Structure 1
Amino acid sequence: MATRYLYLARHGHADAFGNLTDTGREQARAMGKRLAHLPIGAVWHSPLPRAADTAREIDLFLGGITSVAEAAELIDHVPYVPEREEIPPSWRPFFDGYSAQDAAAGQEIARSLTARFAHAPESENDVHELLITHAYPIAWLIRDALDAPPVRWLGLSSANAALTVVEYRPGAPPSIGMFNDMSHLRPELRWTGFPQAPRP
């Protein structure tokens, strides 16, 4: 039974201008070393520079034979704007100002994302793909894998260069092998992209 192994990673740590910092580059290289032994056939990245640069850093460890390309569906976006009664009070200020057009555009990107990547392979061979994207698209793909209500993308957060793995097989629900795993990162490189707080 052919399986799609979807490796999801948030880009490395970036500065206020959206460019990778030295920390982000080190995180990306650590991710590349971790994935180097896998038969990854394609690396897809968001159009944003911090994701594209992360993909290039990772590819240094993949032997230079892997396809690396941009995927518009991986752009940083809000995949679903909840109805007001669905929004937890702490999130309400975040959604102020989102128009119906913004919400519809985000939902269309989210539909395209799952249609392109969130399914079993159509061939008889296993597929291994790495997606370098952002926290919200990862949250949406996890929510989709769990068949959870659309609002449940809220509260699923990913650290910079953390690894999430989802497996898709024909006739079976998706399997989440790991989520937000940072074991390839030195302790001082973990938890970037989260608010400052004591962490395990």
Structure 2
Amino acid sequence: MTHYIYLVRHGEHQDAEHGLADGPLSTRGRRQAELLADRLSGVPLDAVWHSPLVRAAETARAVAARLPAVAPQPSSLLFDCVPTGMTPETPAAFESFFGSVTEAEIDAGRAQMADAMAAFLVRRQGDVHELLITHNFVISWFVREVLDAPEWRWMTLNQAHCGLSVIAQKHGRPWTLVAHNDLAHLPFELRTGLTEVPPV
């Protein structure tokens, strides 16, 4: 018996090129979501959760349109957030990123991710398949948590729009990373959203 969690970054949104925080999916983002739905069509999903932000909600609706047996539900635990600040171990290359993040934002992000781990990384009965449509940093934190990597390592994990990561737990065993940022369902021209990682 295995509990699977499919972690997906939302599709590309229209306002991304203008530097705005949120917005509806672009034409490319809608196509990414449709192809993601095709990729997941053989998975017996028990639940679909998504961030309440527009770009994640629209991605979830696009998936549900092709998988009508599932009803997407918003979760505030999947909001975009920054789960840590600089630590003694964080490479100095990341200082400029954290310069624009307040202590209050970091405290809120840390609390949110602690609650998300407690809510989602729990053993369910039987075979379970859950889809979480969320944001780059949130997925990075899930993967870092499963790998038991140092906290700052979430900064070095990036996901493309509608990239698919999978974590799983068999009964009596720890969570494992099955796949990370799998883009096999997306043709080259739809592979967007990967950010440049500062040199370490």
Superposed displacement of residue 96, structure 1: 1.1
Equivalent residues in 2 for 1:1-200 (5 A)? 2-16=1-15, 17=20, 18=22, 19-62=24-67, 64-83=68-87, 85-121=88-124, 123=125, 125-190=126-191, 192-195=192-195
Matching residue's letter, 1:80: T
Offset at residue 76 of structure 1 (A): 0.4
* TM-score for both structures, normalised by structure 1: 0.90
Identity value in percent: 39
Shift, 1:135, TM fit = 0.4
Tell me how far 1:147 sits from its aligned partner.
1.0
SS of equivalent residue, structure 1 residue 76: coil
Distance 1:102 1:21 in 2: 28
Q: CA deviation at 1:195?
A: 4.3
Q: Distance in 2 between matches of 1:97 and 1:7?
A: 31
Aligned Cα root-mean-square deviation (Å): 1.4
- Structure 2: segments with no counterpart, 5+ residues: none
Q: CA deviation at 1:126?
A: 1.1
2:66 partner SS: coil
Per-residue deviation at 1:154? 1.1
Contact 2:64 2:71 in 1 (8 A): no
**Any idea what SS the aligned residue of 2:156 has?**
coil
Long gaps (5+) in structure 1:
none
The CA deviation at 1:97 is 4.2
Q: Distance in 1 between matches of 2:171 and 2:105?
A: 34
Please report how far the alpha carbon of residue 173 of structure 1 lies from its aligned counterpart in structure 2 after TM superposition. 1.5
Q: TM-score, normalised by structure 2?
A: 0.90
- What displacement does 1:130 show? 0.4
SS at match of 1:171: coil
Whole-angstrom CA distance in 1 between matches of 2:94 and 2:86 = 10
Q: Where in structure 1 do 4 or more consecutive aligned residues deviate above 6 Å?
A: none
